[in-house]
Structure 1
């Protein structure tokens, strides 16, 4: 199981991140309380799309997870996620796709 990230603007992939897929999926599964916040919407087995507004709302959630992550690999995955969410939040018409297995 893994989650790949793609920032899209309309039908064009503007930026992508595939290097932390398994670690990101595990971090979200173990650190995010079910049904709480935007990050709990991410399905590791299906594709999930965040709008600019969703990305903006999820940024503080990622910051809180950084305080509870288990080691440097999870931290790197969460920092990458924060970077992608920030890019989405500042890209007009942007959507961040979480591509699940």
Structure 2
């Protein structure tokens, strides 16, 4: 199980057969999926944050406002890290959240297994 990250420059459009729409993916990360999934799965549910809502089995989409709220959860997530793989996963997530939060019209997709 893992969670990959995709930063989109507009509303995500998944390829369809014979589609003429341009891809919206700006960049993606597959490196830290397992560590990120493990950390997010351990977050307490029903909090005021956003990251606990990420579904490790399905895609979860954050807009720029949701990414900005989730960015505030990074210090707590870093405190939960137990090894370097977790720390690197959170730093990667922080970069994606920050880029989404500061780019009008962008979306961050958490791609679950």
Give yes or no for TM over 0.5.
yes
Matching residue within 47, 55, 58 for 1:43:
55
TM-score by length of 1: 0.94
Give the one of 7, 12, 30 matched to 1:18. Answer: 30
Alignment of 1:19-98 (within 5 A): 19-30=31-42, 32-36=43-47, 37-98=49-110
Higher strand share: 1
- Please, what TM-score do these two structures have when normalized by structure 2? 0.84
Structure 1 unmatched ranges of 5 or more: none
CA contact (8 A) 2:2 2:56 kept: yes
Runs (4+) of structure 1 exceeding 6 A deviation are none
Shift of 1:68: 2.3
- In structure 2, the gaps of 5 or more residues are 14-23
CA-based RMSD: 0.9
Higher helix share: 1
Which of the pair has more CA radius of gyration? 2
Question: Number of residues paired by the alignment?
Answer: 100
